[in-house]
C-alpha cells in the first residue's frame, strides 16, 4: 500500500506547535485501549477470536457488501465531478501561493504513494488467483485466454480508479482544512462545516478514534501480508523451511525493531533516502521483468486490458455477484469487499500524506494527479508482473497454479525463478518488501501519532514508538487469529465506521466549496460594479457632462450625473 515517510517534511500551517509535545488524552487512550484489548484477547484465546472474526465476516459481508460497492462507486463519481466542476479552480492554500512541490516531484511522490507491500504481494498473486478461480468462479472467469484477460481487468478494478477515489475524498477534505482553513492535521476538521464547534468535543474525538483504529489495522494488514511474503521468499532461497507463526513473529519483531530505531534516532533524512531507494529498487525490478519477460505480449496486453477495463468499468463497479448467493458472498469477502475495506482503512494514512504534499495545488490538479498517476502506475505494474505470470500459464511451462490453488505469498518468487537471474531478483524482492515494511511502519506510526496528539506535527517520541510497537502486535495477533483470512476480515470490519465519516466528508466538501464559490461570486460582482461605475464616471467627465470634482456642468444633466456618480471615486 502507501509509503509515506515524506510526511515528515514540514508541518502544515495551523498545526499545533508546542515546545513540549503532548498527547490528546481523549483520543489517545480510547484508541490504545481498543487496540490493546483486541491484541490481548487474541493472545489469550486465539481460537475464540478466530471464530468470532469468522462470524463477523459472514454477518458484515453478507449484509453490507452491497453498501461497500455502492459507496466506493459513488466516491469515483464524486471525485470526477469535483475535478471537472467549477469548484476545480479552488486552490488548496492561499490564492496567491504557488505549489509547494514542482510537478515532477509531486508526481514522483504520488507514484510513491501508489507503491507498497500490497502491490508487491498481489502483483502476481491476484491475476493468477482470478484465473485459477480462487476462492470460486462466482464472477464467471474461465481458465482460458479470455479468462486470463478478464483476470487482469478484474485486478485493475481493485487497484485502479476506485481506491484512488477513496483517497481523493479523504485527502481533499484534509488538504482543504489544513491548507485553506489553516486547521491542525486532524480528521475531525474535515467535517467541521457539518458539526461546527462540536468538532472540538466528543464527536470530533470519536471521528479521530475511528481514523486511528482504522489506520492502525490497515497498516497491520499490510505488515502481515509483507511478513508472509518475506517468509515465502526466505523459504524459496532455502534460508528457512516450512515457515509458520514463529517465523512470522520473529520477522515482525525484527522489522518493527528497525522501524523503532528509525523513530528513536530521528533519522528522518535516512528514512527519506531509504524510501527513494525503495522506489528505485521497485522500478529496477519492474524493468527487469519487463525486459526479461514476454515484452511484446506485456505491451499488447497492457493496451488491451486498459481498453477492456474502461469498457466494463460500470458493470464491474456494481457487480455484487448477487445471483451466486453463498459463493458470491464468499467471493466478495475474499476480493472486492475486502479491498474496499482495506482501502478505506488506509484512507486517513494516505489522505494525510497526499494532503501534505498538495499545498498550493488547485482542486482540479489534485483530483487529476491523485486519480490518474497512481492508477497508471498500478496498471503497468500488474500488466508486467501479472501478465508475465499469465503468459507462463497459457503459453509457457506453467506450474504457478497447482491443483487449482495459487501460493499467494510465494507466486511472485515462482514467477521470478523462471526468468534469467531469478535468484538475484528474488533477493531484491525480499529486500524491497522488508524496506516497505520499515518505512510503512515508521510513517504509519507518525500519522497515527499526529492524530492521537491533536494534530501536533511533532508528537512525543515515546508515543510514536508505542504506536509502531502496537502495529507489529496487531499484525501478530491477526496472523494468530486466522492468517490471511483474519487480515482481510478485519479490514472490512474496521472500515465500516470510517466509511460513514467519509460520506460526511463528501457533504462537508460540497458545503465548503459552495460557500467559497458564493463568496468569490459576491467579490467578483462587487468588483464589476466598481469597474462599471468608474467607467461611466470617466465617460461623463470626458464628455464634459461632469466636472472632475463631481459637480454637474449643466442644469439639464444634474439629476442624471449626480445619480450616476453617486458613490464613485473619480480619478484626478
Spatial CB neighbours of 483, under 8 Å, sequence gap ≥ 6: 224, 228
Give CA–CA dist 60/329, Å, rounded: 10
Closest Cα to residue 170, out of 4, 354, 377, 7? 354
End-to-end CA distance of the chain: 65
- What are the residue ranges spanned by the domains of the chain? 5-530, 531-564
Give CA–CA dist 155/169, Å, rounded: 22
Q: pLDDT tens digit string along 532-557? A: 888 888 888 888 777 776 555 554 44
* pTM summary value: 0.87
Q: Which pLDDT band, with edges at 50, 70 and 90, does 3 fall under?
A: very low
CA 449, 452, 453, 454 dihedral sign is: positive
Q: pLDDT tens digit string along 6-22? A: 444 334 333 444 444 57
Q: Which pLDDT band, with edges at 50, 70 and 90, does 272 fall under?
A: low
Spatial CB neighbours of 349, under 8 Å, sequence gap ≥ 6: 2, 4, 215, 218, 219, 443, 444, 447, 448
Share of the chain above pLDDT 90, in %: 56
Question: So what CATH class is 5-530?
Answer: mainly alpha
Mean pLDDT of 169-187: 94
Amino acid at each position: 500500500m502507501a509509503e509515506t515517510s515524506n510526511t515528515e517534511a514540514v508541518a502544515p500551517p495551523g498545526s499545533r506547535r508546542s515546545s513540549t509535545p503532548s498527547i490528546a488524552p481523549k483520543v489517545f487512550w480510547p484508541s490504545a485501549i481498543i487496540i490493546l484489548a483486541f491484541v490481548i484477547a487474541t493472545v489469550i484465546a486465539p481460537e475464540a477470536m478466530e471464530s468470532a472474526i469468522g462470524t463477523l465476516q459472514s454477518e458484515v459481508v453478507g449484509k453490507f457488501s452491497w453498501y461497500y460497492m455502492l459507496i466506493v462507486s459513488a466516491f469515483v463519481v464524486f471525485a470526477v465531478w469535483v475535478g471537472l466542476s467549477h469548484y476545480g479552480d479552488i486552490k488548496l492554500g492561499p490564492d496567491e501561493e504557488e505549489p509547494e512541490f514542482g510537478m515532477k516531484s509531486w508526481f514522483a511522490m504520488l507514484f510513491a504513494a501508489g507503491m507498497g507491500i500490497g502491490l508487491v504481494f498481489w502483483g502476481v498473486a491476484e491475476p493468477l488467483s482470478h484465473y485459477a478461480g480462487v476462492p470460486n468462479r462466482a464472477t464467471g472467469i474461465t481458465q482460458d485466454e479470455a479468462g486470463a484477460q478478464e483476470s487482469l481487468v478484474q485486478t485493475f478494478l481493485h487497484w485502479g480508479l476506485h481506491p484512488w477515489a477513496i483517497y481523493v475524498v479523504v485527502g481533499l477534505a484534509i488538504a482543504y482544512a489544513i491548507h485553506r482553513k489553516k486547521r491542525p492535521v486532524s480528521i475531525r476538521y474535515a467535517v467541521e462545516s457539518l458539526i461546527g464547534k462540536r468538532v472540538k468535543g466528543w464527536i470530533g474525538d470519536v471521528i479521530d478514534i475511528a481514523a486511528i483504529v482504522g489506520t492502525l489495522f490497515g497498516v497491520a494488514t499490510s505488515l502481515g501480508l509483507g511478513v508472509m511474503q518475506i517468509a515465502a521468499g526466505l523459504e524459496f532461497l532455502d534460508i528457512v523451511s516450512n515457515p509458520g507463526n514463529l517465523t512470522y513473529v520473529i520477522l515482525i519483531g525484527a522489522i518493527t525493531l528497525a522501524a523503532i530505531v528509525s523513530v528513536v534516532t530521528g533519522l528522518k533524512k535516512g528514512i527519506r533516502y531509504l524510501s527513494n531507494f525503495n522506489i528505485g529498487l521497485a522500478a529496477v525490478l519492474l524493468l527487469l521483468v519487463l525486459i526479461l519477460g514476454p515484452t511484446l505480449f506485456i505491451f499488447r496486453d497492457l493496451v488491451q486490458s486498459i481498453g477492456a477495463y474502461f469498457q466494463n468499468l460500470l458493470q464491474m463497479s456494481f457487480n455484487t455477484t448477487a445471483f451466486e448467493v453463498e459463493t458470491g458472498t464468499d467471493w466478495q469477502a475474499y476480493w472486492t469487499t475486502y479491498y474496499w475495506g482495506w482501502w478505506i482503512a488506509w484512507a486517513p494514512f494516505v489522505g494525510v500524506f497526499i494532503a501534505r504534499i498538495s499545498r498550493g495545488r488547485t482542486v482540479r490538479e489534485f483530483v487529476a494527479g491523485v486519480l490518474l498517476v497512481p492508477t497508471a502506475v498500478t496498471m503497468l505494474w500488474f500488466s508486467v508482473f501479472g501478465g508475465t505470470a499469465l503468459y507462463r500459464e497459457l503459453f509457457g511451462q506453467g506450474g504457478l497454479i497447482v491443483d487449482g490453488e495459487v501460493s499467494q505469498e510465494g507466486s511472485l518468487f515462482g514467477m521470478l525463478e523462471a526468468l534469467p537471474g531469478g535468484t538475484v531478483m528474488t533477493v531484491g524482492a525480499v529486500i524491497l518488501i522488508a524496506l516497505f515494511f520499515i518505512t510503512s511502519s515508521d510513517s504509519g506510526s507518525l500519522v497515527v501519532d499526529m492524530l492521537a496528539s491533536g494534530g501536533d506535527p511533532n508528537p512525543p517520541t515515546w508515543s510514536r514508538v508505542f504506536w509502531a510497537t502496537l502495529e507489529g502486535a496487531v499484525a501478530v495477533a491477526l496472523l494468530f487469529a486466522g492468517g490471511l483470512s483474519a487480515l482481510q476480515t478485519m479490514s472490512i470490519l474496521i472500515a465500516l465506521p470510517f466509511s460513514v465519516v467519509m460520506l460526511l466528508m463528501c457533504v462537508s466538501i460540497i458545503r465548503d466549496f459552495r460557500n467559497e464559490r458564493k463568496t468569490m461570486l459576491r467579490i467578483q460582482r462587487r468588483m464589476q460594479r466598481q469597474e462599471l461605475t468608474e467607467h461611466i464616471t470617466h465617460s461623463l467627465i470626458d464628455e464634459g457632462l461632469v466636472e472632475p470634482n463631481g459637480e454637474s456642468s449643466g442644469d439639464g444633466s444634474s439629476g442624471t450625473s449626480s445619480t450616476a456618480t453617486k458613490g464613485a471615486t473619480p480619478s484626478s
